[in-house]
Amino acid sequence: MRKMVEKKNLVLTAVLIGMLMSAIDTTIVIIALPTISAGLNAPFIDTIWVILIYLLVLASFTTLFGRFGDIIGRGKIFNTGFLIFIVGSALSGAAPNVYFLIGARAFQGFGAVMIQANSSAIVADNFEPHERGKAFGYTSMGWTIGGVLGILLGGIITSYIGWRYIFYINVPVGLFGFYYSLKYIKDSRKRETSIDYAGNTLMVAILLLIAYGGVEIAGNGISLLYLLMIAAGLLLIIPFVYVENRVKNPLISMQAFKVRVLSFSLMASLLQAIGYLSVLFILIMYLQGVRGYSPLDSSLLLVPGYIVSSMFAPKMGKIADRHGTGLVATIGIAVMDLGILIYLLLGVNTPIYVVVVGSLVSGFGGSMFWPSNNSAVMSGATKELYGSISGLLRMLSNIGTLMSYIIAISIASLSVSRYVAFEVFLGTTQLQGGISAKFVTGIHAALLASFVILFIAGVFSSVRGKTDHERKRSEAAATESA
């Protein structure tokens, strides 16, 4: 028994290292972006793709590599992801120009995809349903700590060593993570099945068309070409569903979505990511554009929320194991919405502690939602679909990140020009006079939109029903009391 517990903890540690690395590189570049732009003599409109290409790859390929994990073996995909991430990091650090850097970041993103797509499935493979909430609490803690480290390392390394080392630092850490995961994460069995090439191709095309079109509209404004790209992506959903209902081993089993707890938990995950992450982007723009804080100082003001989330996530996951994933996740979303109401107090001269208080409240809500919702998703999936559902869960989170960016830039550009909105986002300009007050009005509108999105996420969360494990436990309890 003790050896089994030790093995589980070693596997969980390997997953944590992978999540930590991929999370760090989601935030570390934001702080360094102005320095990268100056160092490579590149315009902001091009440099922003150093962030976006990474997110675009994450959003487009997580389900695919999750399914590969089901077929080839989750350990193989997860461990290979470390190697690709290391090579992509080294290439990023050595980039001679911004276009090389964008390509290297895309390559690095594929490594992160392979790690992220299989992390939840590996946890589900090694932990029983009644243990998963706590286990996912630790993976959530790894993700939030990675976000904090990305902010801190991005500022320190860029200021004192040089921006190239925000990528080089991944090489020794990644090598250690690869050795550790290779040692402890194994494939339990070989899975003899076919790959759904048609479904994979359609899924990637759908996400690339919609995400790229949306990002370009946020950056350059509405155009017929980008609207057609989004429309084409949406139309491809029809043949995708047709194919998935007819192939023997689909990328995403349509039957799985008949399980209410799974489909509603996934929808809650998507909406929560859109609503919550857009708030973070909007706050950074407020702090940099209206209050004149540097990118590092702006991010540091939000660190308390990350710390609270990472501290309480394992405990909240354990509470979800005991009292039900739906209840804890729904309360978590309600607490996040309370955080948004606090942010609505922000004005041009509001005391800055309001931001910190809102961050603490929102972070506590996140510590309740993420582990419990992840546990509900994986409990609603069958074992042979753990990889594809794990990938789908991460894909929805990454799509939420991209959509949050689009919302933040689009709202900002209603009151200032798009070029100024980009400069505000990067922290290279501060708004003055009446335009600051106008920008705050736009921020309030964006926060209200996020409030509504999170509220809808809470509705899906509250009516998802119980997992099979929770239902059996309730029935057993009812039998004992009778």
- pLDDT category, 392, cuts 50, 70, 90? confident
Could you tell me which of 315, 394, 443 has the C-alpha nearest to residue 63?
394
305-337 residue pLDDT tens: 888 888 888 888 888 888 878 889 999 999 999
CA–CA–CA angle 12, 29, 94 (5° rounding): 100
Mean pLDDT of 407-418: 72
CA–CA–CA angle 26, 44, 35 (5° rounding): 65
How many residues in the chain? 482
Q: Which residues contact 183 (CB under 8 A, 6 or more apart)?
A: none
278-315 residue pLDDT tens: 787 788 878 888 888 877 787 788 888 888 888 888 88
Tokens linked to 391: 């990938």
pLDDT at res. 8: 80
Which DSSP state fits 259?
Answer: S
Mean pLDDT of 427-452: 80
Mean pLDDT of 425-434: 71
309 close to 364: Cβ distance less than 8 angstroms: yes
- pLDDT category, 404, cuts 50, 70, 90? confident
Q: Which residues contact 119 (CB under 8 A, 6 or more apart)?
A: 15, 18, 19, 78, 139, 390, 394
81 close to 89: Cβ distance less than 8 angstroms: no
Q: Which residues contact 296 (CB under 8 A, 6 or more apart)?
A: 31, 151, 154, 155, 159
pLDDT at res. 90: 95
Could you tell me which of 39, 26, 43, 41 has the C-alpha nearest to residue 423?
43
Mean pLDDT of 418-438: 73
In the predicted structure, residue 14 carries a pLDDT above the cut 60: yes
pLDDT at res. 468: 66
Q: State the fold for domain 2-186+249-481.
A: Growth Hormone; Chain: A; (1.20.1250)
Mean pLDDT of 154-171: 85
* Helix or strand (DSSP H, E) at 338: helix 325-343
Q: How many other CB atoms sit within 10 Å of the CB of residue 241?
A: 15
| Distance separating alpha carbons of residues 76 and 71, to the nearest angstrom | 10
58-67 residue pLDDT tens: 877 887 888 7
Residues of the chain with CATH 1.20.1250.20: 2-186+249-481
pLDDT at res. 199: 83
pLDDT at res. 345: 93
Least confident of 196-200, 233-237, 359-363, 475-479: 475-479
- pLDDT category, 190, cuts 50, 70, 90? low
Tell me phi and psi for residue 11, to 5 degrees.
-65, -45
90-147 residue pLDDT tens: 999 999 999 999 999 999 999 998 988 888 788 877 787 777 777 777 777 777 777 7
Which DSSP state fits 255?
Answer: G
Mean pLDDT of 342-359: 92
470-479 residue pLDDT tens: 676 666 655 6
| Distance separating alpha carbons of residues 438 and 1, to the nearest angstrom | 62
- pLDDT category, 192, cuts 50, 70, 90? low
- Higher-confidence position of 199 and 91: 91
